[in-house]
Structure 1
Amino acid sequence: MKFQHIAFALAFLTLFSCGTTQNNAMINNTETTSENSITETHWVLETLEGQKVNAMQHGDKIGFTLHTNENRISGYSGCNRFFGNYSLKAGNRISFSAMGATKMACPEIGVDESKFFEVFNLADNYSISGDRLSLNVGRGAPLAVFKKAKPAAEPITEKYWKLKTLEGQDVKMAKNQEREMYFMLKTDDNKVVGFAGCNTFSGNYTLEKGNRIRFSKLATTLMACPDININEAEFLKIFELADNYTINDDTLTLNVGRRAPLAVFEAIILIKKHQ
C-alpha cells in the first residue's frame, strides 16, 4: 500500500511539474511575443489623455519606434524629432530615459508637445490590444494610445529620396537650381546616386541589421555653379557622417549615433514619361 501511495504521489508531482513547465513556457512565450510586437514597429499617436488627436502635423505623423539596437527610441512629436533610451521588463513594464529633441519652433501645431513628452516621463507600463498600444502609469487610464502603422510597401532602396530638412532647417530650391537635392540607393552593385544642388554624385553603400548604413567612395562631377547659392559640401557631409537611418511611412532620416537627424528626406514617386 505504501508503494502504491508513493507511486501515486510521484505521478502527481510529475504531472504538476510538467504542467508548471508548460505554463512557464506559455508565460515566457507570451512575454517574448509581447516584447517582439512592441519593438521594431512604428506606433502612430491616436489619443492623448483620452482625447482623439490628428497625428498628421507638418507633413509627418506623431509617433515613435522602439529599436532593439541599443534599446533606442526615436520619433516625431508634431514639430520636433526626439530620441532616447527605453527599458523593458517582465509584466509589460517599460521606462524611458536620456530623452532629447530638436529645437524647432512650430507655432501652428495641433498637439501640445509638452503633454506628449510627459507621456514618456510618466509611463511605467504598457498594454497591447490588437493593433493598439497604450502607455500607462500604474492602473490608471492610458496616458496615450497609439496605432500600429502599416509597414512601408518598399524598403529604403530603389526610392527617390528628396531632401526636406538639413540639420533641422527646411530646404528650398535655390534660384536657377536645376532640380531638388536627392539621392537613391540602387540595388545593382550597392550604388548610391544623387544630386547635391549643382553636381551629381555617386558612390557605394552598405546596409546592416538594426538600420545601420554606411556610405563610401563618394565622387562628384566638377561643375561650377556661381549663380546658385547653395552649400553642396554641407549636404555631402551627411553621407560621410551618417551611420544609421529611420523610416516612418514615406519619411527617411539619416542619423549619426543617437543625435538629432542630420537630414530628413521624403519619398517621391517618379512618373515615367511615355515615348
Structure 2
Amino acid sequence: MAAFAASPALSHGSHTHTKAAPKPVLVLEGEFVATELRGRPLNRAAQAPKATLIFLPQDGVSGSTGCNRFSGKLVRGGEDSTRFGPLAVTKMACMGPAGALERDVLAALRATHQIRKFGGEVRLLSAKGRVLARLQTVSARVETGPSLYGKSWTLVRLNGQALDPQSLRPQVRFDGNRISGTTGCNQFSGTYERALGKSRFFRLMQTERACLAAVGDPMAVEAAFGAALSKVDQISLTANQLTLKSSTSPDILVFEAGD
C-alpha cells in the first residue's frame, strides 16, 4: 500500500507531491508442482508426469518439465516484471503425456512476464496478466535453505563413524544446482537437484589419482563416501550441521560448516 506524508499548508498556489513507497521485492523460495497450465487442470494421479519449479537463492531456479530437468535464473525488470532467463534443459526424448506436458511447461516459462504468490500458490502470468500456470507448494521453503550455500562443508561422520580431524576428510560446496568438492583424495563435481521432496546428485565426476596419508585410509573413505553420496535422497540442515542420507539404505553423511 502506498504511504503518503501529511502535506503542510501550501502558499502561492504551489504544491508538492510525496513519492509513493517502493513495492517490496517478491521473495520466492521453495518447491512447487504445477496444477494448471493455460487454464487446464493437470492430471494429479501418482503415476502421471509432474512438472515442478524450485526457487533457489540469488534468484536461481530449477525443476522438471515432467520429462527433462532444467535450471536457470530469474530476470527482474522492475516492480512488476519477473521473467525466466535462458534455461539449460537436459535432452532426454519425451513421448506421450510427458512430451505434451514438457511442451506446455516450456511455452509457459518462455511467455512469463510476471510472477505472483498467493499463500501456497504461485502464478505465472503473461505480459497482459493472463494466468499461464498455477503451481502449489510442495515445501514452503527448500529444506536446505539459503544457508546451505557459500560454505565449505567438511565430513565429520561417515555411516556412524567419526572421522579423525587430522585425516584427509571429504568436503562439499553447493553453488545453485551444482555441487563440487573433494573426496579427501580426488576432486569431484556434479549436479544437485530436488523434485517432489527428494534431493539427488547427478552426473558425479571425479579425478582418478591414488592417495596415501599419514593418518587414516583416504582411499577407503573415498569409496564409502562416493557410494553413500550416490544414494542420497534426503537433505537436512540445522545450524552448522548438514546431513545427507538415503531413504533406502543406512548410509549417512554428516558435515560441519567451515569458511
Q: What range is the shorter-chain TM-score in? A: 0.5 to 0.7
Q: For 1:48 and 1:138, locate their aligned partners in 2 and report how far apart those are by CA, in whole Å.
A: 16
**Who is 2:23 aligned against?**
28
Q: For 1:82 and 1:152, locate their aligned partners in 2 and report how far apart those are by CA, in whole Å.
A: 19
Q: For 1:254 and 1:120, locate their aligned partners in 2 and report how far apart those are by CA, in whole Å.
A: 24
Matched, 1:128 2:117: yes
Mean Cα deviation higher: 119-128 or 145-154:
145-154
Q: For 2:57 and 2:74, locate their aligned partners in 1 and report how far apart those are by CA, in whole Å.
A: 10
Q: For 2:53 and 2:183, locate their aligned partners in 1 and report how far apart those are by CA, in whole Å.
A: 33
- Alpha-carbon shift at residue 191 of structure 1 (Å): 4.3
CA RMSD, aligned part only?
4.1
Tell me the SS of whatever aligns to 1:98: coil
From 185, 199, 205, the equivalent of 1:251 is 199
Q: For 2:155 and 2:136, locate their aligned partners in 1 and report how far apart those are by CA, in whole Å.
A: 34
**What amino acid is aligned across from residue 171 of structure 2 in structure 1?**
Y
Contact 1:203–1:215, Cα closer than 8 Å, also in 2: no
- Alpha-carbon shift at residue 137 of structure 1 (Å): 1.2
Cα pair distance change 1:264/1:125, threshold 3 Å: farther
- Alpha-carbon shift at residue 60 of structure 1 (Å): 7.4
Structure 2 unpaired stretches of 5+: 1-7, 146-152, 160-167, 205-229, 235-245, 251-259
From 52, 66, 69, the equivalent of 2:41 is 52
Q: For 1:210 and 1:264, locate their aligned partners in 2 and report how far apart those are by CA, in whole Å.
A: 20
Cα pair distance change 1:61/1:142, threshold 3 Å: same
CA deviation profile, 1:175-233 (whole Å, cap 9, x unmatched): xxxxxxxxxxxx8x524858xxxxxxx941234575664321445xxxxxxxxxxxxxx
From 178, 190, 196, the equivalent of 2:155 is 190
Contact 1:205–1:213, Cα closer than 8 Å, also in 2: no
From 221, 233, 242, the equivalent of 1:266 is 233
Cα pair distance change 1:105/1:191, threshold 3 Å: farther
Q: For 1:204 and 1:65, locate their aligned partners in 2 and report how far apart those are by CA, in whole Å.
A: 28
Tell me the SS of whatever aligns to 2:110: helix
Matched, 1:91 2:86: no
Contact 1:205–1:215, Cα closer than 8 Å, also in 2: yes
- Alpha-carbon shift at residue 62 of structure 1 (Å): 1.4
Tell me the SS of whatever aligns to 2:87: strand
1:1-275 aligned at under 5 Å gives the runs 8-9=9-10, 20=18, 23-24=20-21, 27-29=22-24, 32=25, 34=26, 36=27, 38=28, 40-54=29-43, 61-69=50-58, 71-110=59-98, 111-151=100-140, 155=144, 190-191=155-156, 193=158, 203-207=169-173, 210=176, 213-218=179-184, 240-242=188-190, 245-248=192-195, 249-254=197-202, 266-267=233-234, 268-269=246-247
- Of structures 1 and 2, the larger Rg is shown by 1
**What amino acid is aligned across from residue 269 of structure 1 in structure 2?**
S
- Alpha-carbon shift at residue 102 of structure 1 (Å): 1.2
**What amino acid is aligned across from residue 266 of structure 1 in structure 2?**
D
Contact 1:57–1:109, Cα closer than 8 Å, also in 2: no
How many pairs does the alignment contain? 189
- Alpha-carbon shift at residue 77 of structure 1 (Å): 0.6
Q: For 2:130 and 2:198, locate their aligned partners in 1 and report how far apart those are by CA, in whole Å.
A: 32
Normalising by the residue count of structure 1, what TM-score does the alignment of the two structures yield? 0.53
Contact 1:48–1:145, Cα closer than 8 Å, also in 2: yes
Structure 1 unpaired stretches of 5+: 1-6, 157-186, 195-201, 220-236, 257-262
Cα pair distance change 1:132/1:114, threshold 3 Å: same
- Alpha-carbon shift at residue 47 of structure 1 (Å): 0.2
- Alpha-carbon shift at residue 108 of structure 1 (Å): 4.7
Normalising by the residue count of structure 2, what TM-score does the alignment of the two structures yield? 0.56
Cα pair distance change 1:123/1:208, threshold 3 Å: closer
- Alpha-carbon shift at residue 74 of structure 1 (Å): 1.4
CA deviation profile, 1:97-130 (whole Å, cap 9, x unmatched): 3223112124353552111100111111222222
Contact 1:152–1:250, Cα closer than 8 Å, also in 2: no
Tell me the SS of whatever aligns to 1:143: strand
